[in-house]
Amino acid sequence: MLKESIQNALNDQIQAEFHSAYLYLSMAAWCEAKNFDGFGHWMRMQAQEEMFHAMKVYDYVHMTGGQVVLQAVQQPDVDWADSLALFKASFDHEQYMTGRINDLLSLAMEERDHATANMLQWFISEQVEEEATVDAIYGKLEMMGDNMHAIYMLDRELAARATPTPPAAE
């Protein structure tokens, strides 16, 4: 049975993950409006992955006898100066999400909730991967500067991102 403090924090995390999905979908819409179709595809796949994150926490709350209480999802940003600013915003967002996961794990450890701490380990590894992936794209864009040919090639590369598969339930 989940302690109320953990249940509330996990419900907040479900909201944060759905907000991430909404933010990445907003980023996809920005890319598609600017004909960066590959970047847009990458952002759509990321939005899907964030929904899987939300549902992993959702399923865990139910599996442990808790109550999921969905919260309002705030409007995401809708405009960025250019593709470099877009991926910088994505990287900043992933760092913010990593901080949230770290705080959640600290809470689970304080509450001696080992099952929740164990579930959160998956997210700890996932955030390392997410930050590294976005940082690599951001780094490439920084090197490219105003070289539109190079940016076009990167756009084509990101169009190949595979559809994510849902993570296993705990």
Applying CB under 6 A, which residues contact ligand FEO?
17, 20, 50, 53, 94, 97, 130
Nearer to ligand FEO, 36 or 123 (CB): 123
From the CB of residue 136, how many other CB atoms can be counted at a distance below 10 Å? 12
Tokens representing 123 are: 């997210």
- How far is the C-alpha of 135 from the C-alpha of 92, rounded, in Å? 10
| Contact present, 139 and 87 (Cβ < 8 Å) | no
Shortest Cβ 148–ligand FEO spacing (Å)? 28
Nearer to ligand FEO, 90 or 151 (CB): 90
Question: Scanning the structure block, which residue is given the tokens 């390392």?
Answer: 128
Shortest Cβ 163–ligand FEO spacing (Å)? 16
Shortest Cβ 115–ligand FEO spacing (Å)? 20
Shortest Cβ 48–ligand FEO spacing (Å)? 11
DSSP state letter for 66: -
Nearer to ligand FEO, 73 or 150 (CB): 73
- How far is the C-alpha of 66 from the C-alpha of 56, rounded, in Å? 14
Dmax (CA) for the chain in angstroms is: 56
Nearer to ligand FEO, 22 or 150 (CB): 22
- Length of the chain measured in residues: 170
Shortest Cβ 40–ligand FEO spacing (Å)? 17
- How far is the C-alpha of 93 from the C-alpha of 113, rounded, in Å? 27
- How far is the C-alpha of 20 from the C-alpha of 48, rounded, in Å? 10
Nearer to ligand FEO, 94 or 113 (CB): 94
